[in-house]
C-alpha cells in the first residue's frame, strides 16, 4: 500500500537532524505543497555504479546529509560482509570543493567510524583520482569521493571505489543499494570524530599524494626514457574553478615544467558557484573562452583544462591562427599513438594492450590492427575500462592506456580511473616529443588521419521528458524489423548489437561480446560504407545520447557521412517532435 505523502514527510522529519533540510520539508508541509513533497520524498535517490548524484535539497530523492549517512551505513555494512579485515584496512574519503562537500565527507567518515572502521582522511579538497590511487596505495577496503564532477553548482555526488581501486560494477551496486535499505536509521550525526583526535581517523593526504606524484613521474619517464622537455613548450592551464590547480602545480614542479605553465587566474581557485562559466564542463561551448583570451594575450598556442574534480582533460591548440578544441576522440588517439611510439622495442608488441569504450572512436582499434598490439572494447564508463584493464593485466597483458570520448584518459600504472593530471603529464611529454619531429599535436593528428583513415563524428544528444519516453522510443526502434531493422536511410545495417535485450547479429549464437543490462538502453550498429554508431539512454541524466562515427578518404567525406547518418537517425528512429524529444 502506498504511504500518504504526509507520512513520508513525518518519516523524514523523524530521521533528519540537519536543520537546513528539516526546515525545507517543514515549510513545504506548511504550504501544503504536495507536488514538491512527492518529487522530494516518494522515490529514493538511486544508488548505482556511479554511486549517488543529484541536486542538494531535502528529501529521500536528493543529495543531503541524511541520504549521505544512509549510503555510508549501507556501504559500511556491505563491506563488512564482503571484504576481509575491513576495520583495520579502512576506507579512503576525499571531497571536492563544492557546496556541502566537506560536510558530506565528514558525515561519511562519522558513519564508518561508528562501525569501528578506520578512515583514511584527506584533509583538504582534492581531485577525484587521488581516492582510487589511495585505495590501492593504502590497501584500503574501499574509497568514497564526494563530488558531482562537472555537474551544475546545485548538484553533488557520492562516488564509490572498490578495494581494487576501480569504480564499482555489478553486483556490488545492487548489493550496496540493498544494504542501504537495511540501514536507514542514522547512528551517527557527530562529525567531531574528524576534527578531534579520534584514533579511527588518520590524515593521509600528504603520504598518498607524494606516492601519486612519484607514480606519474615513473609513467612519464620510465626506465630507459631518453626524451627531453622542449624549452619552447609553454601552455595555459585552467582548473575551471575546481580543485585541479594544486595537483597540477605539484605535478609540473615534479617534472620541471612549472615555469612553462600560465594559469588562468580568474578560474584558478576553487569556487563552488563556477561564476565565469555557464557549465563547469570543458566540453561545453564557451567554457575555454577565458583560457583562450589568456593564451592570446601571452602568445601561447596550447591550452589544457581540467573539469572541477580534475579527472577529465581538455586540450586546445592555436593552429595557424584558429583555435582547435580537440575532441575526446582526437586527444584519445594522440595519447595512444605516443604511448605506442615510445613503447620499449624489447617488449613483445602482442602483449601491449589498450582499451576504449564502445561509445568512443574506432581509430584506436584501427591503430592496434595496423601495428599489431591488443585492443579491447568495453561498455561505457571507467568502471568498465578500469576493471577490464585489471582483468587483462591478470591475463599477462601490459595495459598502458584506456580512453573514453568524454575527455577521460586512464594511465593504469598510476590509477585505474580517468585522471587529468597523469594524462596531462603524458600529453605534455608527447608535445615535446612531437616538437622534436617538427610536429604540433594538431599536425600529428593530421598525420594519424593519413595513416589510419579520416574518422569524423556527429555526436549529440536528445533531452527526454522521462525514462518511460526513452524506453518507449527504443521499443519502437526495435519494432522496425524482425529480429532487428535491416536498413537506415540508404545504408544496410551490417551488424546489430543490442545490449539491452542481449542480441548480436554478428556472433554465431547471437550472444553479444559485451555484458547485457536490461535496465539500460544501448544499441550499436555498423552500416555499409564505413559508418558505426551507438545510441543509448544516459544513466545519470535525462538524455538519449547518439555517438556516430564515419571513416572516409577525406575529412569532408567522413564529416558528411556522419552528418547524414545523424539526420537519418533523427528522421527514422527518434522523431524528436513526435516523441517530445529536444535536440541539443
Mode of pairing for the β-strands spanning 491-498 and 522-527: antiparallel
Count CB atoms within 10 A of the CB of residue 224. 8
Radius of gyration of the chain (CA): 24
Q: Enumerate the H helices of 305-381 as residue ranges.
A: 328-341, 363-371
Residue in the block written with cell 583495520:
88
Count CB atoms within 10 A of the CB of residue 508. 6
CA distance 312 to 407: 5
Terminal-to-terminal C-alpha distance of the chain: 40
- DSSP, collapsed to helix, strand or coil, labels residue 253 as helix
For the chain, the residue count is 584
Evaluated on CA atoms 421, 358, 340, 168, the torsion sign reads positive
Residue 7: φ, ψ to 5°: -65, -40
CA distance 111 to 73: 6
CA distance 545 to 537: 6
Cβ contact 445:335 at 8 Å: no
Catalytic residues: 149
Cβ contact 539:520 at 8 Å: yes
Count CB atoms within 10 A of the CB of residue 3. 12
Q: H or E element: which one contains 318?
A: strand 313-319
Hey, what's the torsion of the CAs at 375, 376, 380, 384, to 10 degrees?
Answer: -120
Amino acid at each position: 500500500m502506498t504511504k500518504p505523502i504526509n507520512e513520508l514527510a513525518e518519516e523524514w522529519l523523524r530521521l533528519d537532524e540537519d536543520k537546513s533540510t528539516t526546515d525545507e520539508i517543514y515549510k513545504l508541509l506548511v504550504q501544503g505543497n504536495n507536488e514538491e513533497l512527492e518529487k522530494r520524498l516518494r522515490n529514493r535517490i538511486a544508488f548505482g555504479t556511479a554511486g549517488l548524484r543529484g541536486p542538494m535539497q531535502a528529501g529521500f530523492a536528493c543529495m543531503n546529509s541524511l541520504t549521505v549517512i544512509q549510503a555510508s551505513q549501507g556501504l559500511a555494512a556491505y563491506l563488512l560482509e564482503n571484504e576481509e579485515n575491513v576495520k583495520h584496512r579502512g576506507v579512503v574519503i576525499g571531497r571536492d570543493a563544492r557546496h556541502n562537500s566537506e560536510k558530506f565527507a565528514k558525515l561519511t567518515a562519522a558513519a564508518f567510524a561508528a562501525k569501528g572502521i578506520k578512515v583514511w582522511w584527506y584533509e583538504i579538497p582534492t581531485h577525484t583520482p587521488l581516492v582510487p590511487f589511495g585505495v590501492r596505495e593504502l590497501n584500503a577496503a574501499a574509497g568514497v569521493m564526494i563530488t558531482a564532477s562537472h555537474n551544475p553548482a546545485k548538484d553533488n555526488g557520492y562516488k564509490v571505489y572498490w578495494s581494487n581501486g576501480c569504480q564499482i560494477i555489478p553486483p556490488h551496486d545492487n548489493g550496496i543499494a540493498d544494504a542501504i535499505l537495511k540501514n536507514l536509521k542514522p547512528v551517527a550525526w557527530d562529525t567531531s570524530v574528524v576534527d578531534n583526535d579520534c584514533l579511527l581517523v588518520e590524515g593521509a593526504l600528504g603520504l598518498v599524494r607524494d606516492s601519486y606524484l612519484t607514480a606519474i613521474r615513473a609513467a612519464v619517464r620510465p626506465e630507459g626514457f631518453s626524451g627531453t622537455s622542449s624549452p619552447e613548450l609553454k601552455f595555459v592551464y585552467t582548473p575551471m574553478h575546481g580543485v585541479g590547480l594544486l595537483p597540477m602545480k605539484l605535478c609540473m614542479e615534479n617534472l620541471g615544467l612549472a615555469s612553462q605553465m600560465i594559469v588562468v587566474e580568474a578560474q584558478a581557485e576553487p569556487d563552488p558557484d563556477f561564476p565565469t562559466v555557464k557549465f563547469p564542463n570543458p566540453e561545453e561551448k564557451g567554457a575555454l573562452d577565458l583560457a583562450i583570451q589568456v593564451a592570446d594575450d601571452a602568445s601561447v598556442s596550447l591550452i589544457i583544462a581540467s573539469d572541477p574534480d580534475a579527472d577529465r582533460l581538455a586540450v586546445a591548440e592555436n593552429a595557424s591562427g584558429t583555435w582547435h578544441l580537440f575532441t575526446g576522440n582526437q586527444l584519445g588517439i594522440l595519447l595512444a599513438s605516443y604511448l605506442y611510439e615510445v613503447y620499449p622495442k624489447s617488449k613483445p608488441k602482442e602483449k601491449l594492450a589498450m582499451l576504449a569504450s564502445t561509445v568512443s572512436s574506432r581509430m584506436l582499434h584501427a591503430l592496434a590492427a595496423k601495428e599489431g598490439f591488443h585492443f579491447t572494447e568495453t561498455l561505457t564508463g571507467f568502471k568498465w575500462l578500469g576493471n577490464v584493464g585489471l582483468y587483462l593485466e591478470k591475463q599477462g597483458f601490459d595495459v598502458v592506456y584506456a580512453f573514453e570520448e568524454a575527455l577521460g584518459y586512464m594511465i593504469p600504472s598510476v590509477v585505474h580511473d580517468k585522471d587529468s593530471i597523469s594524462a596531462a603529464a603524458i600529453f605534455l611529454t608527447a608535445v615535446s616529443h612531437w616538437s622534436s619531429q617538427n610536429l604540433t599535436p594538431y599536425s600529428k593528428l593530421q598525420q594519424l588521419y593519413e595513416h589510419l583513415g579520416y574518422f569524423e563524428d556527429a555526436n549529440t544528444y536528445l533531452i527526454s521528458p522521462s525514462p518511460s519516453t526513452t524506453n518507449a522510443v527504443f521499443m519502437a526502434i526495435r519494432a522496425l524489423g524482425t529480429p532487428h531493422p535491416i536498413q537506415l536511410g540508404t545504408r544496410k545495417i551490417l551488424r546489430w548489437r543490442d545490449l539491452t535485450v542481449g542480441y548480436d547479429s554478428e556472433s554465431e549464437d547471437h550472444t553479444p561480446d559485451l555484458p547485457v543490462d536490461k535496465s539500460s538502453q544501448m544499441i550499436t550498429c555498423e552500416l555499409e560504407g564505413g559508418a558505426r554508431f551507438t545510441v543509448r539512454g544516459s544513466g545519470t541524466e535525462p538524455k538519449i545520447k547518439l555517438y556516430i562515427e564515419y571513416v572516409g578518404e577525406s575529412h569532408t567525406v567522413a564529416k558528411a557521412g556522419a552528418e547524414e547518418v545523424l539526420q537519418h537517425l533523427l528522421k527514422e528512429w527518434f522523431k524528436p517532435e513526435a516523441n517530445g524529444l529536444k535536440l541539443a
